[in-house]
Structure 1
Amino acid sequence: MTSTTDIHAYLAEFDDIPGTRVFTAKRARQGYHLNQFAMSLMKAENRERWKADEAAYLDEWKLTPEQRAAVLARDYNRLLDLGGNIYFLAKVFSTDGLSFVQAVSTMSGMSLQDYQAMMIAGGRSPEGLRSIKDKH
């Protein structure tokens, strides 16, 4: 049987993976309202209201100030840090007219062309930085 301390230590290890944010139960709780906002954009009438006045539309959701700022800035990496789920956030960038690969390339700091080439070649190499805390 795993103790509560052991499970928390195990889950904390996910935060040590460079460039990766694992969507844990903690992140799900943190991002609940953010993800509900994103999912609301599945309805055409909500997308139109969002496009007409983003700030006013966000007023209807219980977002933290940090989540609100990140949504308005389309800072997807920050939104993931704040509990966003990439599949829910896809509703935001889709509403903006971006494909999944276009949006994710902005999150990688790479051009769309470089990101696509990397993915076609098999993705990021497993060699290199494997641990944030150990720097290897």
Structure 2
Amino acid sequence: MSLDKPYQDIPGTTIFDAEQSRKGYWLNQFCMSLMKAENRERFKANQRAYLDEWAMSEEQKQAVLDMDLNRAISLGGNIYFLAKIGATHGRSFQQMAGSMTGMTEEEYRAMMISGGRSVEGNRKLGEDGTAQPHRQPQGQAGKKD
């Protein structure tokens, strides 16, 4: 059963919800395995062979091999778990975030220091171009999840 997801119309945003969690379960489990030094060494020695030990889709494995974090997120990866792949390769979270935005680490750092990404074009828009607040469906007001 699909739940109402009013957050799906936020441009460029993938929300890590229950559906994403299920989709990325094995990808995220693989990432967590990299917390152990011996697993990091095995992964670095033969990435493909190590990935093939996990019940991930071929698309998820390719996203890891390509270090395509945006693709991995769309396939159910959680950024906090995916950060372990970057750390295994000696990359900082800032380097990873920069690569996800098409910026260098320095450009990403400068953007964040100057206040972050502009909200223009990065929020839910109404038909007239003005931001519209998310509203709960009728009968849901005050209901706890």
The TM tier, using the shorter chain, reads 0.7 to 0.9
Structure 1 counterpart of 2:73, which letter?
A: L
Distance 1:83 1:107 in 2: 16
Partner residue of 1:60 out of 53, 61, 69 = 53
Structure 1 position 76 matched with structure 2 position 69: yes
Q: In the alignment, residue 115 of structure 1 is paired with which amino acid?
A: Y
1:24 to 9, 14, 17: 17
C-alpha displacement at 1:52, in angstroms?
Answer: 0.4
Number of residue pairs matched by the alignment: 129
Identity %: 55
Query: Match for residue 84 of structure 2?
Result: 91
Cα distance in 2, alignment partners of residues 51 and 132 from structure 1: 44
Q: TM-score, normalised by structure 2?
A: 0.82
Distance 2:86 2:66 in 1: 12
Cα RMSD, aligned residues only: 2.0
Question: What residue in structure 2 maps to residue 116 of structure 1?
Answer: 109
Name the counterpart of 1:107. Answer: 100
Deviation per CA, 1:12-39: give whole Å up to 9, x if none: x322111221110000000000000000
- Relative contact order, CA 8 A, sep 6+: which one is greater? 1
Unaligned runs of 5+ in 1: none
- 3-state SS in 2 of match to 1:60: coil
Q: Between Structure 1 and Structure 2, whose CA radius of gyration is higher?
A: 2
TM-score using structure 1 length: 0.87
Structure 1 pair 61–94 and aligned structure 2 pair: CA distance change class (3 A): same
Bigger mean CA offset, 119-128 vs 41-50: 119-128
Deviates more, 1:111-120 or 1:73-82: 111-120
Higher helix share: 1
Distance 1:42 1:129 in 2: 34
- 2:37 counterpart of 1:44: yes
Secondary structure of 2:29's counterpart equals helix
**Structure 1: 4+ residue segments shifted above 6 A:** none
